[in-house]
Amino acid sequence: MKRITTTPRNNWQSAVEELGFGFHTTDVPYWDESVYYEMEMDEILLIEKATAELWELCLGAVQHVIDNGLYEKFGIPDWIVPQVEKSWTEDHPAIYGRFDLCYKNGQVKLLEFNADTPTSLYEAGIVQWFWLQDFAKNNDQFNSIHEKLIAYWKYLQNYLNPGTLHFSCLKETLEDLTNTEYMRDCAIQAGLDTKLVFIDDIGWDDDTKQFLDLENQPIQNIFKLYPWEWLLKDAFGQQIPEDSNRAFWIEPAWKMILSNKAILPILWELYPDCPYLLPAYFEEGKLADYVKKPIFSREGANIDLVMKNLSLQKTEGIYGAEGFIYQELFTLPNFSGHYPVIGSWIIGQEPAGMGIREADNLVTDNLSRFVPHLIK
């Protein structure tokens, strides 16, 4: 893995905007093609292998959590547990997730799993692919995201409820809308009947006990780029188990187990010999060098990196009320003051590609940049 600086395409802003990538720059650059990472094929094969194995272990961990009723450790309220278990035992449709991995000194380590609402899908699947076509089209990239999304929507079609597949996200966030519309694009290409409804616009009919879109069409299947922990706290959350249509929510409710950082100590307890896992615990004091993470946290908020009882780096935020976990410190590799984290995608049941986000410090936060890669 090498970090290589280069000259961006002359027209890179218009090139990415033509793809529909409108959030390449906010207050600071987000898409950064002044640098790329060059990977060896054996490094890619290792990341692919680790991703496939971690996915298998995650499925085992979900079964363990359900068998032992460990919901309290995950902050999952009792009233939604039947929905979680039903979605697991009935194998409700799920399509994707993103493992955040640290790759350093030939080792791959799982930092966390974004199993419910992973973002940067469009950057990884489309934007960096078209960058490669302009920049080095004879090289390859760890990237079959687009093909796998279309293929898996085709596969899932037979497992959805009859009718439309709605797609939903928050209003007024172009990043979320782009990721959602990209996912819908793939579903359309798979032959599904789709419709966009903002999550804020969804209606609840208390007479018929069903969710409705803005045209009062009942919602039978819904892909939501909106996390389960927020759904549960919203006023309509308690209506989900009452839904007379038994709509499929994608990702399904059992994904709230995997998207929670409480899964990290569970994975370590079950699979301590796995080379891709770091020791992790619910209790403080078992590790000398560790990262303290809230079980619910986004964009690197409320993270504390501790080495020999001294805080190396600490981030602020609004999370932590539901509890923390402690994971052995395995710092991101340092490329001249730049710290890349690998987001490795699982689509359906298969590794599908990766994206690299790079920060200027050890915590990958909302100021990190998406940087393309190629295979040497």
Residues 183-202 that bind other proteins (CB under 8 A): 184-185, 188-189, 198-202
Please state the closest distance from residue 90 (CB atom) to other proteins, in A: 23
CB of 226 to other proteins, least distance (A): 6
How far apart CA 89 and CA 57 sit, in angstroms, is 17
Assess 87 for contact with other proteins (CB under 8 A).
no
> Which of 314, 376 has the CB closer to other proteins?
376
Pick from 2, 49, 171, 246 the residue near other proteins by CB under 8 A. 171
Question: 311 has which bridge partners?
Answer: 306
Residue numbers 317-376 binding other proteins by CB under 8 A: 353, 366, 375
| Residue 263 host element (H or E) | helix 263-270
Binding to other proteins, residues 38-57 (CB under 8 A): 41, 44, 48
- Separation of CA 212 from chain center: 27
Alpha carbon distance 231, 236 (integer Å): 7
Q: Is 169 in the site for other proteins (CB under 8 A)?
A: yes
The label of the residue with tokens 């080495």 reads 307
The correct pick among 17, 40, 284, 360 for binding other proteins (CB under 8 A) is 17
Single out the residue of 173, 244, 311, 349 in contact with other proteins (rule: CB under 8 A).
173
Residues of span 216-245 touching other proteins by CB under 8 A: 216, 225-227, 229-231, 233-237, 239
Residue number with CB closer to other proteins (169 or 305): 169
Helix, strand, coil percentages, rounded to 5, for the chain: 35, 25, 40
**Whose Cβ is closer to other proteins: residue 152's or residue 306's?**
152
Choose, by CB under 8 A, the member of 8, 9, 20, 52 that binds other proteins: 20
Closest to other proteins by CB, 7 vs 216, is: 216
Report the nearest approach of other proteins to the CB of residue 309 (Å).
30
Q: Is 312 in a helix, a strand, or coil?
A: strand
Give the one residue of 73, 92, 109, 146 binding other proteins; rule: CB under 8 A: 146
> What order do you get walking across the sheet with 289-294 strand by strand?
280-281, 324-328, 289-294, 304-307, 310-314
- Cα 61 from Cα 83, distance rounded (Å): 18
Q: How far is the CB of 178 from other proteins (least distance, A)?
A: 6
Min dist CB 159 to other proteins, Å, is: 22
φ, ψ at 105 (rounded to 5°): 50, 40
Cβ atoms within 10 Å, residue 287: 18
Decide: 235 and 86 in contact? Cβ < 8 Å.
Answer: no
